A and B are shown apart, each in its own frame.
Chain A
Amino acid sequence: MTIYTLEKKAYHIREQVIKMLLAAKSGHAAGSLGVADIMTALYFRYLNHQPKKPDWEGRDRFILSCGHLVPVWYATLAEAGYFDQAQLTGLRQFGSKLQGHPKRGLLPGVENTGGPLGQGVSQAVGRALAARLLKAKYRIVCLMSDGEQQEGQVWEALMTASKYKLSNLTFIVDRNNIQIDGHTEDIMPLEPLRAKYEAFGLEVLEVDGHNIKAILDCLSQAEATYEKPTIIMAHTIAGKGVSFMEQEPNWHGRAPNKEEALRALQQLRTLEGRIEHD
């Protein structure tokens, strides 16, 4: 799959997210769109996995710690073939397996149970310790949001990852600078974030979170780092691909109405206007 094909796939996943949120009438739009390129890079190039054998022991483990971004996880898993795309519109519906936050065991490919921020980070550390005990070769990748970094548990977990030199573990932080109440640096400043990670003993890489090739390079580089875990600071645009959602804290925790969804889908289908709408 070429990088261009991957980029198109990311836009298709964004379309799915918009449709899912429209049907659900609630959910987190901006963050889900913002990490679509990262999810695409992971599931269609980087991760060693078998969608038809979701419990295959040798698979790489992906942990979504910021559980509110689960719409994009569901859309990505369905696109990768873990389950039928028709299920996607069940997001947040009564009786659906697509719970509003991820629940392990309900759907193939959903590796962790979470929602309350910070918890997946510790789970990922536990997974990495387990892999070491099992002498397993697979890697653990944990995606966090930047607002999540305000949770003390994140730093407890990072200290542990560092203490045990968990080089089999790669963290990705979605640095989009917004959270539900506003901009991170207004609500509770995180900067200097890179220096904080370095002080906690992590190898820090920074990347344009919409440059799939660069994301893949960072993921590879993390594998070549020994003796410590790596964290990739992915600088993203919240709401990426939909002009009126981009960088807007208002869109952190809401879903589009029908008119907004139509405008969003048109922008996404034309790759932000770069190609003619069919």
Chain B
Amino acid sequence: MTLLTVDNLRTTFRTDDGPVCAVDGVSLTVGAGKVLGIVGESGSGKSALSLSIMGLLPESATVEGSIRLGEQELVGLSKHDLRALRGSEVAMIFQDPMTCLNPVLTIGWQLVEAVRLHQQVSRREARKLAIDGLAAVGIPSPEDRLRTYPHELSGGMRQRVMIAMALLNRPRLLIADEPTTALDVTTQAQILELMRDLRREVDAAIVLITHDLGVVAEVCDEVAVMYAGRIVERAPVDELFAQPQHPYTWGLLASLPGRSRTGQRLHQIPGAPPSLLSPPPGCRFAPRCALVLDACRTDPAPSLAPVGAGGSQVACLLDQSTRDREGARYAAGEESA
């Protein structure tokens, strides 16, 4: 069952230098109990996309297109109605657990507050829910933890608290914006483990935003690769790693640290992402693409089209045989230097 449907979403920021279209015609769907990974480098529009869904964009941004949660349209909803949805129907986990908890208030205060924002329950019941929530994310002696302040907890613990807080009101959609980026590797593994477990338990749709393909491989069902505000490739996770279709995805795969031998320089995609103030016509990856065709440099840009039997979609003008050949090389890790 499809829970989240994003249709032709355009998010534009007004800036002093002109409008910046951070999300440009993105469409995607996520089913209940499924995890969609969104990968892309910094500035590719991942966070703008997630903030658009949450309705947390600053005043200077405008959102066009459609975001539907179940049957409900979120674009154009009043502030009041959006607020009622946030924290109860949709919730979000942020990148840095060090800064997203209020340093001068206890964990318990903040959790109880989160419950009572959406549920008409007594303080005592809210406390009970908070304790259950902490226990569910694997925090030992949750009752004692309620009295502690964020600074007394480690980064991993704080991220668990944040996850508990996001899940307190049983949201149907959970957006995780790089939830493991600020954590050390061991803790990352634990948090990913936790998210995998939770996904089974709470049956929420999860949108996982990351630039770490390793994380994608671990927890996602489907992946959308974003580049310069557009989705360039969408595929089930196994397909993405077995038959990557877009040259940008190849570049990401080749850049994985494990792909290079020790002592070798890591692969990098030549060039830099385009300025979104004046994006290049046609495919936005064309200026950096090794296999670029003349047609790639002219509008209209290629749109997502299904390829193969695996359910992949790609926005690329290369012919299928080239893509299959090159994709197989990158999937096998041959193209590493």
- Chains A and B belong together in one complex: no
Identify the A interface with B (CB < 8 A).
none
